[in-house]
């Protein structure tokens, strides 16, 4: 039996939230997705509120993943303690609130989702995601295991993909917000892509108004980052899995845009 997993890139600001509300169900239907994971760390640009998390779940997500902006909105802290549907990276310091992985019941049996964060050119406080995920994968009995690697460096994401090849069903990257063209099944059967892309303003620098980003790089006095207006897009990847083996059969980009 086939089981289709839709993974959607970082939702940015109100335009990203609007896109999810208007388009996620349609994409779920069109792709025949059985299970949907959405990265929501930028719903408030820096962080996500409980209301935004509820909206993304209502729009059809089964699980929301987060990243370096997990706690940008402090009101999410209590919410994270009470829900299993929103994951922050599993390798954050042990005192971090919430959980980094869980197992969900589906028509194909148990599906585990693990959220991880990389360390290259990022915060140095998380634990080594490579050593941690090996321990987790050994102890999870679900046949289908999905791993998100929220990281800056393409090498760190690829290395994670190859290390887990044959041991999990899919590994996808987030955080850089630019979709990569390297969707593939790795040699031992793990579906892989270096970056899902993002959901939000199409004409933007990673979701942000270009002039604000340009000012930062020019060295001008800068304002607080705000999301761009105008046409929007939703970017993600569809992994078709074989439920008998947990291996990935096919990986496709499913980007849509105004």
Query: Cβ closer to Fe ion: 12 or 248?
Result: 12
Asked if 149 and 118 count as a contact pair (C-beta separation under 8 A), the reply is yes
Smallest separation (angstroms) from Fe ion to the CB of 66: 8
Tell me the residue nearest to Fe ion as measured from the CB.
10
Query: In angstroms, rounded to a whole number, what is the distance separating the alpha carbons of residues 151 and 129?
Result: 11
Closest CA to 32 of 54, 58, 56, 1: 1
Q: Are 61 and 87 in contact (CB under 8 A)?
A: no
C-beta closer to Fe ion: residue 133 or 206: 206
Cβ at position 94, least distance to Fe ion in Å: 21
Closest to Fe ion by CB, 190 or 199: 199
Q: How far apart are CA 88 and CA 209, in angstroms?
A: 26
Q: Please compute, for residue 219, the number of CA atoms within 13 A of its CA located in the half-sphere on the CB side.
A: 0
Indicate the residue among 39 and 83 with the shorter CB distance to Fe ion. 39
Per DSSP, the residues of 193-225 read ES---EEEESSSBTTB-HHHHHHHHHT---PPP
Least distance to Fe ion from the beta carbon of 96, Å?
15
Point out the catalytic residue in the list 69, 150, 175, 177.
69
3-state DSSP percent of the chain in helix, strand and coil, to 5 = 25, 30, 45
Question: How many beta carbons lie within 10 A of that of residue 248, not counting itself?
Answer: 24
> What is the rounded CA–CA span in Å between residue 3 and residue 169?
11
Q: How far is the CB of 98 from Fe ion (least distance, A)?
A: 16
69 has catalytic annotation = yes
Q: Could you tell me which residues are beta bridge partners of residue 8?
A: 38, 236
Terminal Cα distance for the chain, rounded: 34
Q: What residue ranges bind Fe ion (CB under 5 A)?
A: 10, 42, 67-68, 175
User: Closer CB to Fe ion, residue 23 or residue 175?
Assistant: 175
Q: Which residues contact 51 (CB under 8 A, 6 or more apart)?
A: none
Closest approach of Fe ion to the CB of residue 125, in Å: 15
The DSSP-derived string for 20-34 is HHHHHHHHHHHHT-S
Cβ proximity to Fe ion: between 10 and 242 the closer is 10
Shortest distance (Å) from residue 83 CB to Fe ion: 20
Residues marked as catalytic: 69
């Amino acid at each position: 039996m086939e089981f289709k997993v839709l993974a959607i890139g970082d939702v940015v600001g109100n335009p990203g939230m609007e896109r999810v509300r208007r388009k996620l169900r349609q994409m779920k239907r069109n792709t025949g997705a059985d299970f949907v994971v959405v990265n929501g760390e930028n719903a408030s640009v820096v962080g996500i509120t409980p209301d935004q998390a509820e909206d993304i779940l209502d729009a059809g997500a089964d699980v929301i993943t987060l990243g370096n902006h997990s706690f940008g909105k402090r009101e999410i802290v209590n919410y994270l303690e009470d829900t299993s549907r929103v994951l922050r990276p599993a390798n954050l310091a042990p005192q971090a609130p919430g959980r980094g992985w869980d197992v969900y019941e589906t028509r194909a049996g148990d599906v585990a989702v693990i959220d991880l964060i990389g360390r290259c050119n990022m915060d140095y406080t998380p634990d080594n995601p490579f050593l941690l995920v090996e321990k987790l994968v050994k102890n999870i009995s679900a046949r289908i295991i999905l791993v998100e690697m929220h990281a800056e460096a393409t090498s760190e994401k690829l290395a994670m993909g190859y290390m887990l090849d044959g041991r999990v069903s899919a590994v996808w990257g987030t955080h850089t917000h630019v979709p990569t063209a390297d969707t593939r099944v790795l040699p031992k059967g793990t579906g892989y892509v270096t970056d899902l892309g993002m959901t939000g303003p199409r004409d933007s620098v990673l979701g942000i108004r270009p002039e604000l980003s340009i000012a930062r790089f020019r060295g001008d006095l800068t304002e607080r980052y705000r999301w761009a207006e105008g046409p929007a897009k939703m970017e993600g990847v569809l992994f078709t899995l074989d439920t008998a083996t947990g291996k990935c059969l096919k990986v496709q980009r499913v980007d849509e845009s105004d």
